[in-house]
Amino acid sequence: MGKFYDMDDIITDEEVVSIVFEKAACGVGIDPSSETDSVEVGSKVELPFWLAHELQLRQAVSMNIPTCFNQKTRLEIQADSACVDLRSRCPFFYEFGCKIAPLVGVRTIGPLLLSAFKSRYKEVLTKAHTAAFPAASKHLTILTKEETNLYEAAQSSMTAFKRWRMGGPRFQRASVLGRKRKSTD
């Protein structure tokens, strides 16, 4: 429940999942181009995760593996995970995987995430602490949100330390004091 207000969690839930309807549904306008308002049994639809999750709890649908975890991605990760552009597949790769894994029948998502994260983590570690120009790295554009958090944590603490080492005034004037008040008469 601690993640209820977490913005990243809410956006992760928006990722689309392709599902197959087990029961017919009436009165739902999922497909605007169809004539009737109902959905047949066995039709494949793309829904956001939060909706698909609820429907699966009521056993009305069955979930398939999302496209970002398909065989192509797996092969790429096995080949060289540090260069795979995970952000274009799904910016919340790891969080989404953690949510999907218990719901879809396939048991291999967990180890896939783990191995991908382990090898990419090394890259993040070395680049984060030592990069002189953080914006210049192309490496940043392929990181998921979670890895970007890690990267920024290291980056900010490094810059804070460097700023302290340079010296400078120890006490900073509060921004409130700097503003002059206009006299009202």
Contact set with another protein (CB under 8 A): 94, 98, 101-102, 107, 109-111, 113-114, 117-118, 121-122, 125-126, 128-130, 146, 149-150, 152-154, 156-158, 160-161, 163-165, 167, 170
Phi and psi at 16, nearest 5°, equal: -85, 145
CB of 15 closer than 8 Å to CB of 92: yes
DSSP characters for 73-101? HHHHHHHHGGG--HHHH-TTHHHHHHHHT
Cα 51-61-97 angle, rounded to 5 deg: 60
Least Cβ distance, residue 61 to another protein (angstroms): 21
Q: Which is nearer to another protein, 23 or 118 (CB)?
A: 118
Rg (CA), the chain: 23
Q: Which is nearer to another protein, 6 or 37 (CB)?
A: 6
Q: Which is nearer to another protein, 30 or 98 (CB)?
A: 98
Q: Which is nearer to another protein, 41 or 114 (CB)?
A: 114
Q: Which is nearer to another protein, 62 or 155 (CB)?
A: 155
CB of 43 closer than 8 Å to CB of 20: yes
Least Cβ distance, residue 46 to another protein (angstroms): 25
Least Cβ distance, residue 29 to another protein (angstroms): 35
Rounded distance between C-alpha atoms, residue 117 and residue 54, angstroms? 29
Least Cβ distance, residue 152 to another protein (angstroms): 6
Q: Is the dihedral of CA 1, 17, 97, 157 positive or negative?
A: negative
Least Cβ distance, residue 7 to another protein (angstroms): 12
